[in-house]
């Protein structure tokens, strides 16, 4: 395994399955996370240059559970506000003894940082709209908790796919498996990169996309990433692309519904979020276990 987790493509299928199996050890029979004092001499810095609730908190909790010291780096009150670059910032943390940097950044800087600071371990916690590897791992784990195996599954992803790093890493991750089908769906202007995908197919009608689906992933409209203002009639959007109980009827009865969060209830109704098919809250909990496994593997190597 590489020294850093920059992309899901850094992992083989075996690495992915091993990390998921390893993450299961960190959850006890009651569903609580085990606390293991494995790395009391390691310092993990959480450097988030974009907003985050689940990813940031789960990395902090995972690192605490493993006995690490956690530096919750406060970007808003840091010298980045005085014009310091991310390179100088992370170099300063490195000089102070930080062993591992969990980085979320709007731009693609993580690869260059990893080359610049080879002694530090880097874990990608969100790179612009490009990648989000630990989200893909927790998504695959959540599917395996319910379906055991990804082979043969019909998976549908619906929403603002062009801006979604969750989608790109998920697609890279699941391309290791022999899926039944992978269908991309959403407003054509939000799915320009997925009209002729390398794997899977695009379907503009949500009901057709959902036929026979085992797994449905909904994604929010990422307003903050649109370069020009969105000229969108929300009611029309909802009637076509919102995952509602009625539309979900086209999927298999035991289909699971996923969403990385945060949920805006434009892309999915509250009824579907709260339905028995929904595993959205389990994804959040799986985030801690997966990040405990990732931190252990990359701190240990
Ligand atoms: C996603 C993200 O930040 O990429 N959320 C997450 O990490 N759980 C998706 C989003 O912001 O919509």
Mean pLDDT of 32-56: 97
Closest ligand 1 atom to 222 CA: 12
Looking at residue 274, what is its pLDDT?
98
143: confidence class by pLDDT, cuts 50, 70, 90: very high
Which ligand 1 atom sits nearest the alpha carbon of residue 125? Answer: 7
Q: What is the mean pLDDT of residues 54-72?
A: 98
Which atom of ligand 1 has the smallest separation from the CA of 132? 4
Q: In what order do the strands lie in the sheet with 201-202?
A: 201-202, 181-185, 154-158, 215-218, 256-258
Residue from 102, 129, 139, 262 to probe ligand 1 pocket by mutation (most atoms less than 8 Å from CB):
262
pLDDT of 2 above 90: no
Instruction: Specify the ligand 1 atom closest to the Cα of 50.
Output: 3
222 CA to middle of ligand 1, Å? 9
Distance 138 CA to ligand 1 centre (A): 13
Tell me what pLDDT residue 205 has: 97
Q: Report which protein residue has its CA nearest ligand 1's atom 8.
A: 260
| Mean pLDDT in residue range 266-293 | 98
Region of poorest pLDDT, from 38-52, 62-76, 217-231, 281-295 = 217-231
Mean pLDDT value across residues 181-198: 96
pLDDT at 1 exceeding the cut of 80: no
Choose the most confident range, by mean pLDDT, from 101-105, 144-148, 196-200.
Answer: 101-105
- pLDDT of the residue at 229: 81
Query: pLDDT-derived band of residue 238, with 50, 70 and 90 as boundaries?
Result: very high
Q: Which mutation among 103, 123, 126 tests ligand 1's pocket best, with the greatest number of atoms within 8 A of CB?
A: 126
Average pLDDT over residues 280-300: 97
Across the beta sheet with 43-48, what order do the strands follow?
Answer: 69-73, 43-48, 100-105, 121-127
Q: Residue 203: its pLDDT value, please?
A: 97
Q: How confident is the model at residue 301 (pLDDT cuts 50, 70, 90)?
A: low
Q: Which pLDDT tens digit goes with each residue over 128-137?
A: 999 999 999 9
CA 261 to centroid of ligand 1, rounded, Å: 6
Percentage of the chain lying above the pLDDT 90 cut: 93
pTM above 0.95, yes or no: yes
Give the model confidence (pLDDT) of 98-123 as tens digits: 999 999 999 999 999 999 999 999 99
Mutate to test the pocket of ligand 1, among 136, 158, 261 (most ligand atoms within 8 A of CB): 261
Delineate the domains of the chain, giving CATH numbers in brackets.
8-131+284-300 (3.40.50.1370), 133-280 (3.40.50.1370)
User: Which residue, by CA, sits nearest to atom 1 of ligand 1?
Assistant: 260
Q: How large is the average pLDDT for residues 50-78?
A: 96
55 CA closest ligand 1 atom index: 7
Please give the distance, rounded to the nearest whole angstrom, from the Cα atom of residue 219 to the centre of ligand 1: 9
Pocket of ligand 1 (CB under 6 A): 54-55, 126, 132, 135, 165-166, 220, 222, 260-261
pLDDT of residue 248: 98
**What percent of the chain is modeled with pLDDT above 70?**
100
Predicted local confidence at residue 66, as pLDDT? 98
| Whether residue 252 has pLDDT greater than 90 | yes
Q: What is the mean pLDDT of the chain?
A: 96
């Amino acid at each position: 395994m590489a020294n850093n987790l920059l992309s899901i493509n850094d992992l083989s299928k075996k690495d992915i399955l091993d990390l998921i199996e390893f993450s299961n050890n960190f959850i006890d029979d009651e569903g609580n996370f085990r606390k293991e004092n494995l790395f009391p001499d390691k310092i993990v810095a959480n450097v988030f240059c974009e907003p985050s609730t689940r990813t940031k908190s789960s990395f902090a909790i995972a690192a605490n559970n493993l006995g690490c010291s956690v530096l919750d780096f406060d970007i808003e009150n840091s010298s980045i506000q005085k014009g310091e670059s991310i390179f100088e910032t992370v170099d300063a943390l490195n000089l102070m003894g930080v062993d591992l940097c969990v980085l979320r950044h709007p731009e693609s800087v993580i690869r260059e940082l990893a080359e610049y600071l080879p002694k530090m371990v880097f874990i990608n916690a969100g790179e612009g709209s490009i990648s989000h590897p630990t989200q893909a791992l927790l998504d695959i784990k959540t599917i395996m908790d319910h379906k055991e195996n990804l082979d043969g599954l019909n998976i549908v992803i619906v929403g603002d796919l062009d801006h979604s790093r969750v989608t790109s890493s998920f697609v890279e991750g699941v391309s290791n498996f022999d899926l039944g089908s992978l269908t991309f769906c959403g407003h054509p202007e939000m799915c320009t990169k997925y009209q002729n995908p390398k794997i899977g197919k695009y379907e503009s009608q949500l009901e057709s996309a959902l036929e026979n689906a085992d797994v449905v992933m909904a994604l929010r409209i990422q307003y903050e990433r649109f370069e020009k203002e969105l000229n969108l009639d929300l009611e029309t959007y909802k009637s076509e692309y919102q995952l509602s109980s009625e539309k979900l009827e086209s999927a298999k009865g035991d289909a699971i519904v996923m969403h990385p969060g945060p949920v805006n209830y434009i892309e999915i109704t509250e009824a579907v979020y709260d339905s028995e098919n929904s595993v959205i809250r389990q994804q959040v909990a799986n985030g801690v276990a997966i990040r405990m496994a990732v931190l252990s593997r990359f701190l240990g190597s």
